[in-house]
Amino acid sequence: MKTVNKEYCMSSFLALRYIADAEKIFAEGVEHEPLQLRSDSEKLSCFTCDDIDRNIRTVMERFNLSHAALFLSGGIDSGILASYMPKGSKAYTVHNESHLNDLEVERAARICEINGLEHIVIEVSWKDYQNVMDEISIKIGYPVFGNTPQVYCLTKKAIADGNDFIVFGDDADLVFGGLDQLLSKDWEYDTFVKRVMYLDPKRVLKEPADLSGVFEQYRIGSDSVDFQKCIKEVVSTSTGIAYYDAFKCAGVNAVDPYTFLKMGVPLDLSRIRSGDSKYLLRELYRKKYPILEIPEKIPMARPMDIWMKDWSGPVRDEFLPRCICGLTGEQKFMVYSLERFLNRIEG
């Protein structure tokens, strides 16, 4: 029997972008399912870039890709996956209305040209977000965060175009050392916890819940933290869940081949900290695209600072007055999404 604990669910969503305790729910009848991470025993070890190449190909051969689409950002991770897609496959790239990602769209188009893929650029606007937010949040049992509506819109378009399977590459950063800021040093416990939370619930909620149980398991001694394990377990859930929520709501199967891979040896932190993040994937990208420059990390684009610029903040009693002052556009959207969800489930 799941327990209603709205305060905990609000705090967990703001801090982590998901509900850490699967047994706690926002309200009666508002169910959510935890993301099931793949175990290490299911993963293929990679020591070199050639191992990654061979193992991705092995993973892709497990699936019927005859009507599969690729979500292509123009970055390293999805660019590599493009090389395994059947010729003529459709590849979808988001273009935002503020033109912030024009260069990424151009790179994605070049990758499609090289691999013989059909490139489809989709505009996702604030109006599109408004149209799908409630539908998604009611289905998943908690508010949406920045990327979910965008992935959902891409997925619905891909389905409408006759695709029945999605290939995407979200886990590469987690597996191969792309989260260079989180790997930048050996953290003190309190500093790392503050850094890894997307929005500290104490900044916006009148009654924030205690989330220490999420992080205490990673404490080492009095003031150190196993930050790599926390990234692998906590951060991986908060990054991947946007995609899987969108696919679940749209009713389509999908695969991220990077979730089937693991490093065969520990990450070379000194190499990452010297500026060579995802060094094995960079090497593989150079082999596949010797004529292209290696792009830096490219998240799925969305002009949230622009979209949330004129929002005056929440009015519900759960929130502190003027709580959005000093927040980023992404953080404001999380508060906006939470208030909208509460209004929806509580009438």
Phi/psi at 46 (nearest 5 deg)?
-125, 125
Percent of the chain with pLDDT over 70: 97
What per-residue confidence (pLDDT) applies to 347? 74
Average pLDDT over residues 211-229: 96
Across the range 100-115, mean pLDDT stands at: 89
- Predicted pLDDT of residue 302: 74
Exposed (0-12), middle (13-18) or buried (19+): which is 51, by Cβ within 10 Å?
Answer: middle
Cα gap 128→150, rounded to integer Å: 8
pLDDT, tens digit (0-9, with 9 covering 90-100), for 278-304: 999 999 999 999 999 988 765 555 789
What is the greatest pairwise CA distance in the chain?
57
Identify the CATH number of the domain in which residue 282 sits.
3.40.50.620
- Please answer whether residues 92 and 68 qualify as being in contact, where contact means their C-beta atoms are separated by less than 8 angstroms: no
203 three-class SS: helix
Write down the pLDDT at residue 74: 87
pLDDT at 236: 85
**pLDDT higher than threshold 70 for residue 276:** yes
Angle of helix 148-160 relative to helix 236-250, nearest 10 degrees?
40
Range 224-233 average pLDDT: 95
Token pair listed for 99: 């033109």
Mean pLDDT taken over the chain: 94
Residue 345 is given by DSSP the state H
- The residue range of the domain holding 329 is 3-346
Q: State the total domains in the chain.
A: 1
Examine the pLDDT at 100 and tell me if it is beyond 90.
no
Mean pLDDT over 54-76 rounds to 96
| Rounded Cα distance, 91 and 107, in Å | 12
Instruction: Record the pTM.
Output: 0.93
48 has pLDDT over 90: yes
Measured CA to CA, the distance from residue 41 to residue 326 in angstroms comes to 44
Residues 121-133 pLDDT 10s: 999 999 999 999 9
Q: Is the pLDDT of residue 146 over 90?
A: no
